[in-house]
Amino acid sequence: MLGTNGKLHFPKLKFFKKDFIAKVTDSSLTEKKSVNLYKIDWLDFEKRKEERFNSWRETYHKDKNLWYVKSLPDPYFDQLSDVVFCLDHLYLNEIQRCCRHAKSERERNWSFDTNVRDKCLEIPESYIDVSFYLLCDCLFSVENHYWHRDFDFRKITLSCLLYSFWKGQTVRGLLWERARLYEIQNIDDKNGIKERSDFILAMCDHEKAIAKSFLDLAIEKE
């Protein structure tokens, strides 16, 4: 019988600035609505993940040649820090509620066998899915003062958010699924195919780099 009380760590959602949404009401008038913009502090989140990795390595595998690989390959890692979200109080409250429930459900003690435990863990995973989906529904272009509506940009950003969140918080074999990368692979649309292909290729190479960083540990187990 197995139990789990693994803690989830969350990045910080920070207020960025006040801005406005521009909406053309007719040929001569532009309606402006004041909005609050937010960013996720991925650099701080990444720093904390690297510190936990180094602590784990020093505690359990000090003699092994293991190293930390950042959560996303270039240029996606830097781009993620520039992503802006336009959130009203309804979206903000729901995202925070989902994160709280994900944390409390993940930290529960489930004394079930492996299959049942894994089924129960789908509950916090679903809360995480919803919270990042809501964030991506509020992607905002500061340059255009309007919502991001590019389909491929939204899908790739969602996968980047989920991958960055789950890396180091789930087993490596589940990262592809948790980040919904298979959905991008299965999009049957010629529009945006180069952007999607470049992203998937970059993520495949990234997964190889992560596997290489643990190679010394894998050899020991064999």
pLDDT one-digit tens code per residue, 75-92: 999 999 999 999 999 999
Query: Tell me, what DSSP letter sits at residue 30?
Result: E
Q: Which domain holds residue 78?
A: 12-221
Residues 115-170: tens digit of each pLDDT = 777 788 889 999 999 999 999 999 999 999 999 989 999 999 999 999 999 999 98
Within a domain: 188: yes
Q: Is residue 2 part of a domain?
A: no
Tally of domains in the chain: 1
Residue 7 lies in a domain: no
Residue 93 belongs to a domain = yes
Looking at residue 32, what is its pLDDT?
85
145-153: list long-range contacts, CB under 8 Å, 24+ apart: 145/19, 145/20, 145/21, 145/22, 146/21, 146/22, 146/23, 147/21, 147/86, 151/191, 151/192, 152/187, 152/191, 152/192, 152/195, 152/196
pTM: 0.90
- Mean pLDDT for all residues in the chain: 89
Task: Assess contact for 52 and 169: CB atoms under 8 A.
Answer: no
- Does residue 1 fall inside a structural domain? no
Q: pLDDT at residue 99 above 90?
A: yes
Query: pLDDT > 90: what percent of the chain?
Result: 71
99 lies in a domain?
yes
- Residue 5 inside a domain? The answer is no
In a domain, 3, yes or no: no
